[in-house]
Amino acid sequence: MGKHTMRLITALLTAALFLGCSAAFAGAAGIKETLRVGLFYGSTALPGANLENSVGNGYRFGWYDDGLAFHQVGSTTETQISMVKTQNVTFSGGNYVDGAGAVTVGCYHLQLPMTYPTFEEAQSAASGLTNGFPAWIDGTYYVRVGAYPTKEAALAAQAALGLTDAAVAGTSGYAVTVVVTKTGRPIFQFDGGQNDCLGIQPGLDDSVTPVTWFKGYRYYGGFQYRRNGGNLTVINIVDLEDYIKGVLPYEMNNAWPLEALKAQAVCARTYAATISSNHAGSGFDVCNNTHCQMYQGLNQANSNTDQAVEETAGEFVRYRGQPAVTYYSASDGGATEDVRNIWNSTADLPHLKGVVDPYEADLADGISQYNWTVTVSKAQAADKLRSKGYNCGAITDAYVAELSETGNPKTITFVDANGKKWSFGPETMRIWFGLRSNRFTIGEGGGSYYVNGASDALTSISGAYAVNGDGAVSAITGTPYVATASGTDRLGAATTVTSTGSTITFTGSGYGHNVGMSQQGARAMALRGMDYIDILTFYFTDITVE
């Protein structure tokens, strides 16, 4: 399918969205329109989490159902609020923490005996009491007073305030208290048990698109606070397109050409669609780091990145009609690689084939550490194998035993003093020895390609060109042949290099895992005048952009 046909399909789908078909289309395609993004969770879960309005004023309290529709149960006009676990926490260094601090929010309260049918009635009753606030407990509104660190302190306050009909109340392990950030004054408490957790929708209505500060970053969307006895899991509930606006400037330089940014936007959107169950067991869809994709809100977004997202809105890379897995990395060093050669446990994905990349060479001289070497001792290599459970002796040799069709290492073999051999894929080497990419050769102390017998040498063929008999100039790719005094040799062919020294040197180019789209390659293609469809159809095989 040609790129012009793809654009026509995209235009027709976009028109359908404006005619009110977005939900039906998204449901049919199995793509989530709204994502739950884990910001803090597991070991990073927080005792307290602050919010501050950036665009819009105030907040609505409530809960999100399974379809992520928001159900409001209260509100506040405060612009700086904090959600804290209902255990004793203190305000220190601008955050609510466990331990000592200037302001304490305790876990004991005084609860009045009445219940109330609405938030407004509970709030009205609470306003006549010192430190009174409405609480929504399992669907019922109560009025509670204070946040005391001990039961004794709560009883003393009860006597001092003359609230003889009140009872000391604690909370469940699911409860969250909302306080004014700097003073610690409670303004709302939410306990939906194990079924419903607190949701915060910034802004008192939908008249503006709210933007909210959290931990130094500005975010679209709302927030959810999940708790089961400990700290708060903080989740951003955000529209898919707004999520991509918060991914794009952290995965690609926001000053790069628009067509490269558009390719990245489509990649990021499609990737999100294919990994949106990564963290289902933790109560959210994707995380905010490189385990899924970098997502840090709007701080680095600009008109270029927003335009790239908006001009590709709703577009996905598809293979046989379904969203394709769109891996990408910083730089392929001259060739990408088949996914099956990098992650052996991954089923063969026909659209993730290796391609020789002639475009990155345009930028190679300006990319920091594009060509690199990593040297390890043979003793270190032996220690690494032993630490992984391999019973090896002293390592004597290491070599590339097999090359892929794009000239990347496919199998790397180690030999010990007893002649035993162990073979691994390139990704294992990258992880074990901190290599910058999966495009490399192996030698002892490094190696070079000599040009015309001169003293000048290249450590890699990436960025090198050859002139044929007709005077045509082309980039050297794959595994070239060279003329030597003894005939013609295949350059870089898989041969055992007997090492007499004590080190092994990996010499390579690029940065990343080498699967899918090269971001530097996308930039180079855009600078040549190619568009995002050209870029995506080059790096992903037999795909459409729809």
**Buried (b) or exposed (e) across 104-128, using 16+ Cβ within 10 A?**
bbbbbbbbbeeebeebeebbebbee
Closest CA to 56 of 258, 218, 231: 218
pLDDT of residue 344: 78
Residue 371 · residue 391 · CB < 8 Å: no
Whole-number pLDDT of residue 5 = 35
- The structure tokens 């007499």 sit at 500
Give the mean pLDDT of the chain: 88
pLDDT at 524 over 60: yes
Are 68 and 36 in contact by the 8 Å Cβ rule? The answer is: yes
CB burial of 373-405 (b: ≥16 within 10 Å; e: otherwise) equals bbebebebbbebbeeeeeebeebbbbbbbebbb
Kindly tell me the burial class for residue 174, based on how many C-beta atoms sit within 10 Å of its own C-beta (0-12, 13-18, 19 or more).
buried
Per-residue pLDDT at 535: 98
Task: List beta partners, residue 512.
Answer: 437
Q: Which residue has the tokens 């790239």?
A: 308
Q: According to the model, what pLDDT value does residue 250 have?
A: 97
Q: Flag whether pLDDT at 485 surpasses 60.
A: no
Predicted confidence band at 488 (pLDDT cuts at 50, 70, 90)? Answer: very low
Question: How many CA atoms within 13 Å lie on the side-chain side of 59?
Answer: 30
Q: What is the pLDDT of residues 8-59, one digit of tens each?
A: 333 333 333 322 323 223 333 578 999 999 999 999 999 999 999 999 999 9
pTM metric for this prediction: 0.84
Q: 3-class DSSP state for residue 347? A: coil
Q: Over the stretch 406-442, which tens digit does the pLDDT of each residue have?
A: 999 999 999 999 999 999 999 999 999 999 999 999 9
Supply the pLDDT for residue 30: 72
- The answer to which of 92-101, 122-131, 334-343, 489-498 has the lowest mean pLDDT is 489-498
- Res 459 pLDDT > 50: no
Query: Is the Cβ–Cβ distance between 223 and 51 less than 8 Å?
Result: yes
pLDDT tens digits along 75-119: 999 999 999 999 999 999 999 999 888 899 999 999 999 999 999
Give the pLDDT confidence score for residue 444 in this predicted structure. 59
Q: For the residues 508-515, what does the mean pLDDT come to?
A: 98
The pLDDT, as a whole number, for residue 443 is 82
Burial of 327 (0-12, 13-18, 19+ CB in 10 A): buried
pLDDT, tens only, 107-161 = 999 999 999 999 999 999 999 999 999 999 999 999 999 999 999 999 999 999 9
Residue 499 or residue 171, greater confidence: 171
| Interior angle at CA 60, CA 56 and CA 66, nearest 5 | 120
User: pLDDT over 90 for what percent of the chain?
Assistant: 81
Q: What is the 3-class SS of 42-94, one letter each residue?
A: HHHCECEEEEEEEECCCEEEEEECCCCCEEEEEEECCCEEEEEECCCEEEECC
Q: What percent of the chain has pLDDT over 70?
A: 84
Taking the C-alpha atoms of residue 257 and residue 142, their distance in angstroms, rounded to an integer, is 56
Q: Grade residue 500 by pLDDT with cuts at 50, 70 and 90.
A: low
- Which range, 199-213, 332-346, 461-475, is most confident? 199-213
- Tell me the backbone φ, ψ of residue 444, rounded to 5 degrees: -100, 110
- Cα separation, 153 vs 428, in Å, equals 59
> How confident is the model over 197-202, as a mean pLDDT?
98
pLDDT confidence of residue 486: 37
